[in-house]
């Protein structure tokens, strides 16, 4: 069984394959050849590129963060009890980035490349041929398997204070509870850019010029591009988030001279953002966008019919498979939990968010006080955002 690589706390994973452009000129010429000669000018450019990006990621974050000034007790005092808490502030960020592949391929025949071939001033009864052949093969395979579980429990607390059963007056004054939490997952992001093409933006020129009588003259230009891109992604992300900001649940009960509760404000801001299975494939080939020139010029009498062939062939195949249990390590994605089930079920992979957020200044009690009871609570503010962005495929072929 294949095993996942364990990648925890990584700032970024970046795999890049780069093939630079080569701006070159290819020139071949047979000039002033004799009778009965066999003259061939051949330029062959072949560019074969294979890139395999294969990634595994298993990330498990178990985060328990607490900021607490509450949970205080001032009870059963003769001259009264007083509780005054400070503020509780908590900021937690959990960020997971994995399986990011960037592949840039620029054909060696792109840019200012120029191919020039010719047979000039050839003799009688000669055989003259010029062949220019540019072949560009590109094969990119991206296979990503990501398994992420975030179990986050965050609490900011100034509440749960007790000032009960005091002879004198009881007072509870809490500070503010602030909580900020961000959980971000970014996995299985593939960018593949293939630029140029057989011949690129330059020119292909081939000619037989001023050939002798009874000669056989031919010019062939072949440009062939084949591009294959396979993006295969399987991801399983589970976010379990519990966030709680609290200044409430205070008790000032059964006090002879009265009980008073004044709470601060409670605010919670939670963002859960999951992105995955993003494939961008950009292919810009110059098949036909450059100059192909073939010519048999000033040919001699009684020769074979001059032949000129210019052929441009482009074949592009792009496969995008997202959450189809097709990646190289998909068999390890069995169920939502960390277990070694064999097999992968399509309906069990994807993103599952279980988010519970509370902001509370209430549930305060000032009961059964002889001198009266008073409760003044602050405001409770809650902001929650859950975003899922997955299976985004952009394919552009020019």
Q: Give me the chain's average pLDDT, please.
A: 86
> Average pLDDT, stretch 197-225?
80
Q: Is residue 263 part of a domain?
A: yes
Q: Is residue 10 part of a domain?
A: no
For residue 314, the model assigns a pLDDT of 84
Strand partners for 365 = 251
Residue count of the chain, please give it.
Answer: 398
Q: Is residue 3 part of a domain?
A: no
Total count of domains within the chain: 1
* CA angle (232 as vertex; 230, 236 as ends), nearest 5: 165
Q: Is residue 5 part of a domain?
A: no
For residue 286, the model assigns a pLDDT of 66
Distance (Å, whole) CA 174 – CA 125: 107
For residue 8, the model assigns a pLDDT of 36
Query: Could you tell me the residue range of the domain that residue 198 belongs to?
Result: 15-397
| Predicted confidence (pLDDT) per residue in 276-324, tens digit | 999 999 988 765 445 778 888 888 887 777 788 888 888 899 999 999 9
> Average pLDDT, stretch 110-135?
82
**85 burial level (CB within 10 Å; 0-12, 13-18, 19+):** buried
| Predicted confidence (pLDDT) per residue in 28-57, tens digit | 888 888 899 999 999 888 888 999 999 999
For residue 109, the model assigns a pLDDT of 58
Q: Is residue 24 part of a domain?
A: yes
Q: Is residue 279 part of a domain?
A: yes
* Residue 68 CB contacts under 8 Å (≥ 6 apart), including other chains: 88, 155, 156, 157, 158
Q: Tokens standing for 111?
A: 């840019």
From 5-14, 51-60, 90-99, 378-387, the region with the lowest mean pLDDT: 5-14
Q: Is residue 1 part of a domain?
A: no
For residue 338, the model assigns a pLDDT of 47
CA atoms within 13 A on the CB side of 320: 17
> Average pLDDT, stretch 131-150?
91
> Average pLDDT, stretch 94-117?
81
Residue 115 pLDDT level (bands cut at 50, 70, 90): confident
From 94-103, 127-136, 182-191, the region with the lowest mean pLDDT: 127-136
Q: Is residue 360 part of a domain?
A: yes
Distance (Å, whole) CA 28 – CA 47: 20
């Amino acid at each position: 069984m294949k095993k996942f690589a364990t990648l925890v706390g990584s700032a970024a994973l970046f795999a890049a394959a780069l093939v630079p452009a080569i701006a070159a000129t290819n020139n071949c010429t047979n000039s002033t050849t004799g009778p009965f000669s066999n003259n061939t000018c051949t330029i062959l450019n072949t560019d074969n590129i294979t890139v395999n990006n294969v990634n595994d990621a298993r990330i498990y974050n178990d985060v328990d963060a607490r900021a607490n000034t509450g949970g205080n007790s001032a009870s059963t005092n003769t001259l009264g009890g007083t509780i005054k808490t400070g503020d509780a502030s908590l900021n937690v960020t959990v960020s997971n980035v994995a399986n990011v592949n960037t592949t840039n391929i620029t054909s060696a025949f792109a840019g200012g490349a120029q191919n020039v071939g010719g047979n000039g001033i050839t003799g009688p009864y000669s055989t003259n041929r010029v062949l220019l052949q540019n072949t560009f093969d590109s094969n990119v395979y991206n296979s990503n398997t990501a398994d992420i579980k975030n179990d986050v429990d965050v609490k900011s607390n100034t509440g749960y204070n007790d000032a009960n059963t005091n002879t004198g007056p009881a007072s509870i004054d809490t500070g503010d509870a602030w909580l900020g939490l961000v959980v971000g997952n970014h996995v299985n992001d593939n960018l593949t850019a293939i630029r140029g093409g057989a011949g690129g933006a330059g020119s292909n020129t081939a000619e037989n010029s001023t050939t002798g009588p009874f000669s056989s003259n031919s010019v062939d230009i072949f440009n062939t591009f084949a591009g294959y891109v396979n993006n295969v992604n399987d991801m399983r992300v589970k976010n379990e988030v519990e966030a709680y900001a609290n200044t409430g649940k205070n008790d000032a009960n059964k006090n002879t001279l009265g009980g008073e509760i004044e709470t601060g404000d409670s605010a919670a801001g939670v963002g859960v953002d999951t992105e995955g299975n993003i494939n961008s494939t950009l292919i810009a080939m110059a098949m036909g966008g450059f100059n192909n020139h073939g010519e048999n010029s000033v040919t001699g009498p009684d020769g074979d019919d001059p032949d000129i062939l210019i052929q441009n062939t482009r074949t592009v195949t792009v496969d995008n498979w997202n959450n189809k249990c097709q990646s190289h390590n998909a068999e390890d994605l069995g169920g939502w939990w960390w277990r070694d089930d064999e097999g992968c079920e399509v309906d069990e992979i994807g993103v599952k968010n279980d988010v519970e957020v509370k902001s509370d200044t209430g549930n305060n009690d000032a009961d059964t006080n002889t001198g009266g009871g008073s409760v003044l609570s602050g405001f409770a503010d809650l902001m929650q955002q859950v975003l899922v962005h997955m299976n985004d495929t952009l394919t552009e072929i020019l």
